[in-house]
Structure 1
Amino acid sequence: MPGSAYTILLRGQNSIQNGNNPLYIVDGVPFSSTSLTSQDIGGGALGNPSNGGNQGLSPFNSLNPSDIESIEVLKDADATAIYGSRGANGVILITTRKGKAGQSRIDVNVYSGIGNVARKLKMLNTKQYLAMRHEAFYNDSVENPAANIVPWVKRL
């Protein structure tokens, strides 16, 4: 799902309860890899069958990919020597682009697209819908269909 969280394993599964996510460092600052929301996006039958890895929106949605200058991956002794126990699952160092001296420059990215409906569903008009509802009441042997209408429908 677009924008959903993802799972990266650098050193395999080391923990059952404390998570296996690596430590993310963006420009020298630890960056949370936990979801920004509690809503399940992509879990369940249609999404990720594990129901755990892809929950909520990724905090990396706020990081523009074109602003990333370099990504370095530290694992094993390198990660733990520098970051201690927080780097036990590995460390991903992300460096973003910095401003440079000289003439100012503006970059513009423009995206556009055209959508087209491949197949339109055949829908009932009001007269056909009411005929279907009356037939349903008749088939259910309902004598007074107006008494079975939900109150908010009466207001319409």
Structure 2
Amino acid sequence: MSKSRYYSVAFPPLLLLFAFMASSGMAQTATIEGTVVDGSTGDPLPGANVAIEGQNVGASTDQNGRYSISGIDPGVYTVQASFVGYDEEVQEVEVEGTVTVDFELVPSEQALEEVVVVGYGEQRQEQVTGSVSQVGASDVEDVGAPSASEALQGQASGLMVHRTGVPGKSPEVRIRGLTTLNSNEPLYIVDGVERDDLLGINTSDIESIEVLKDASAASIYGSRASGGVVLISTKSGQAGEIQVDVNSSVGMKNPHQRLDLLSTEQYMEVNTELRQNAGSPPPARFNEEGFPESFPETDWQDAYFENAMYSNNNVAVSGGTEDARARVSFGYLTEEGTIPETGYERYSLSVNSDFDVGRFQFSEN
């Protein structure tokens, strides 16, 4: 931080003006923008995370792989890009004004040791021959999305989530594009039970998500899995002292695509020229007294749309012994719509218990 010293000296007005302009320039902020693509194919990576190390700022890429981090002070920063299934890339850049920093991420080739749910049981990751992507509980919770479908955005390669913007409506989920058999929507399996969508699933109750993306899914579930399979395992109680987990998140949504509308004068000019080219006179209302001065200019997008708040609150209690374990959770989600008088409320209750009696195990969910 630079310090200024002031002396009791009379400065000419021109020097004072120059000093004011210099101090104003120091307050300017900088912007880092660019793209994140697959280093082997050049395809954009939507949902990739770009962050500045040591700073609590960052951004996610859009559908075209573009990102923008604005409002930062000029200086030298270390910028990091990451995406599920790819190695992280770090670049050190000097930022002044607007700087473009592009990333080409390389797919990760590290061997994993996790156990993966594959529909008919469990296998070690290195023994799975099909295409499977795994998403952990921390990955889902970090997103802070109101629904499990939206939390999948950017978490698995080849999986695209198209949000409708309508509260309480399930987003469109596509695994490796469109198919021709049955529905293009994937098959959802939650704790072994088939579901039509994931609207009623509380993201805080999710332990892991496996996404089956190739023909091996159809060999297990048949033609219903032509659009892929999303397997979700929910959390269960663990042996030990009673544990209480409380989490709450609040967010805001606003329309991100706006139309650039014509003003009244621009509309009159375009309409008059259009009619002249067609050999027709301009509309009679253009010659009415007080037109267009007496007609207010209203952007109906501002009048119709509004910012919307959403809040997700959850409480979970878990614990037990080696022979009896249980977990109970309650969640409340409220989501306003960007269109007035629209919204969505969801109450969720989950009870999961396990009992070991000799050689037998009883579970309830």
- Structure with greater helix share of residues: 1
TM-score computed with the length of structure 1 as normaliser: 0.49
Structure with the largest fraction of strand: 2
Question: Could you say which structure has the greater relative contact order, defined with CA pairs below 8 angstroms and 6 or more residues apart?
Answer: 1
TM-score normalised per structure 2: 0.22
